[in-house]
Amino acid sequence: MIPRLGGALALLGTLIVPPHGRLDAAPTPSTHEAQGKGRPKAELRVNPGLILPPARVVATLELTKGANDYQDYYCPKIEWEWGDGTRSESVEDCAPYEAGKSEIRRRFTEDHRYQHSGFGAMSYEIVFRMKQGSETVLTQRQRIRVQDID
């Protein structure tokens, strides 16, 4: 473990000054975020991106970095729109939110089956929405291509 001196690190007799340049200053937002504070980053992945129906896709929304107790992302309602006129939704039953104690879920996965469209090649936009009540707090989108073989 590296000993700390104020906001600096003491390593083999060398004083390492934090990026904000002052030993008594508060960390910068980027340092603060790296320590697990603030809004988590979101990434939506859909596999496979090109399908031949009937076929199943798996969509995964992953939250990285940021605070483990980020209130807007705690116990949300999740909606998936599949671009073909269908949608899925889920809600968890959670304990009331407690700052510093409650932990957000960091991975949401759902699968969907596409059937023959009868239109040759189609592009569908998959939309992930995270909601608190009626307010959308996060939206991610990804396109896939469905190729009918006739």
Q: Is the torsion defined by CA of 116, 119, 125, 127 positive or negative?
A: negative
pLDDT of residue 86: 96
Is residue 115 scored above 80 in pLDDT? yes
Please give the order of strands across the beta sheet that includes 41-47: 41-47, 55-64, 107-114
Q: Summarize pLDDT for 14-45 with one digit per residue, the tens.
A: 444 444 444 444 444 443 344 478 999 999 99
pLDDT band, residue 13 (cuts 50/70/90): very low
Q: For residue range 117-130, list pLDDT tens digits in order.
A: 677 788 999 999 99
Residue 8 has pLDDT above 80, yes or no: no
Here the tokens at position 64 are 């990285």
Please give the domain boundaries of the chain with CATH numbers for all domains.
Answer: 4-34 (no CATH), 41-147 (2.60.40.10)
- Asked if the model's pLDDT at residue 3 lies above 70, the reply is no
Tokens describing residue 139: 């939206």
pLDDT of residue 136: 98
pLDDT on residue 37: 86
Complete DSSP assignment for 8-41: EEEETTEEE--TTS-SSSPPPHHHHHHTT-SPPE
Within the chain, residue ranges assigned H as helices are 29-34
Give me the pLDDT at residue 150, please. 63
Q: H-helix or E-strand containing 72?
A: none
Q: What is the pTM of this model?
A: 0.73
| Number of neighbouring beta carbons within 10 Å of residue 131 | 17
Say if residue 107's pLDDT is above 50.
yes
Tens digits of per-residue pLDDT, 53-96?
A: 899 999 999 999 999 999 999 999 999 999 999 999 999 999 99
Q: In what order do the strands lie in the sheet with 50-51?
A: 50-51, 135-147, 121-132, 77-81, 87-91
